[in-house]
Amino acid sequence: MALQTEGPISVRDINIELGLLPETPFSFDSLIARTLADKLTGPISLSDFLGKADVQVLENNVDRIGGSIYELFGSPTEAGKFEFQNTAIIGSSAADQFRTGVFPAGSELVIVNTGTVSGFGGAGGSLDPAVSPNNTTDDLRPELNGDPGGPAILFEFDCEVDNTNGVIQGGGGGGGAASQGDDSKSGYAEDTIGGGGGAGRSPGDLGVSFVLGTSGSFTLTAPGGSGTLTSGGNGSSQNIPTQTPTTLTGGDGGDPGQPGSMGQKIGGSSGDIYTYRFGLGGAPGAAIDKNGNTVTATGGTIRGPILV
């Protein structure tokens, strides 16, 4: 809390603002006093402390993607106490990770979050069979996997996080794709059904579906969707008129802090004329990536892994 902006002020008031006992001996020429008064040299008096605060507070009420808390504070060059207060929706994209930045040595950083801090969602799995031909046996195909979600915030500096009334969430993983076809049988369709996008500040895109070949009428029966801030998107699905009716489905994108689902086949039989391949769902992004720093986070809603 800042000192009063007018009226009488005492050294006791200044000591309390500095986190000291009221009766602590006080010197105007001490570095801690001059730093608080923003008067590193020259004459200094009690009036120089009016309105001053030992903690520099930055309130963020603007939705944003990426950036650095350090840069938002103006890239300070002197050690200090910094409190970042967030009431908006902030987070990361695959190209721009939201992070603390590195403050001058000896600084203290506190984040008070009453808004939402979210990682980006992973894209749903997809594979163009014309570019990467299908196998002739059922199996898992890494090329069909959904993309992983991203972390909500990367810590590059020791930090205390008060999340009592806020949400911190990793991005959801993208859903895995599903594919059918057999290169050894000419004239049969080769299809890839895209997985749903993962949830996130920058939601994951729905995986593209492909329909190739000349056999039968193969159209999407239920197009899927991209993710949103709060939920993963559904994977697309397609009914296949084989010997036994089959539905090929892309996996759903993961909700915040959750992995995407695997692509799957529903129905079919051992005598099916097609072979099938599936992708795994992408891993969730971390809610908190400590990156080797000392980070304490308390309260509120935290969705997703916490990496040390």
pLDDT of residue 212: 65
Nearest to 283 by CA among 175, 173, 157, 180: 173
Structure tokens at 111: 């984040």
Rounded to 5 degrees, what are φ and ψ at 18? -80, 0
Whether residue 272 contacts residue 244, with contact meaning beta carbons closer than 8 Å, is answered with yes
Give me the sheet containing 210-212, strands edge to edge: 139-140, 275-278, 178-181, 190-193, 210-212
**8 in any annotated domain:** yes
**303 in any annotated domain:** no
**14 in any annotated domain:** yes
**128 in any annotated domain:** no
**249 in any annotated domain:** no
How far apart are the C-alpha atoms of 204 and 124, rounded to whole Å?
7
The identity of residue 259, as a single letter, is: P
pLDDT of residue 214: 44
pLDDT of residue 134: 54
Rounded to 5 degrees, what are φ and ψ at 244? -120, 125
User: How do the pLDDT tens digits run along the chain, 308 residues long?
Assistant: 678 889 999 999 998 888 789 999 999 998 888 888 888 899 999 999 998 877 888 999 999 999 999 999 999 888 888 999 999 999 999 899 999 999 999 899 999 999 999 999 999 999 876 665 555 556 778 889 999 999 999 999 999 999 999 999 999 999 999 988 765 554 445 688 999 999 999 999 999 988 765 444 456 788 999 999 999 999 999 887 665 667 889 999 999 999 999 999 887 665 566 778 899 999 999 999 999 999 999 989 999 999 99
Counting other chains too, the contacts that 9-15 makes at CB distance below 8 Å and 24 or more residues apart are 9/46, 9/47, 9/49, 9/50, 10/46, 11/46, 13/49, 14/46, 14/49
pLDDT of residue 163: 97
Count of domains observed in the chain: 1
**45 in any annotated domain:** yes
**212 in any annotated domain:** no
**46 in any annotated domain:** yes
Q: Residue 48: give the domain boundaries.
A: 1-53
pLDDT of residue 199: 98
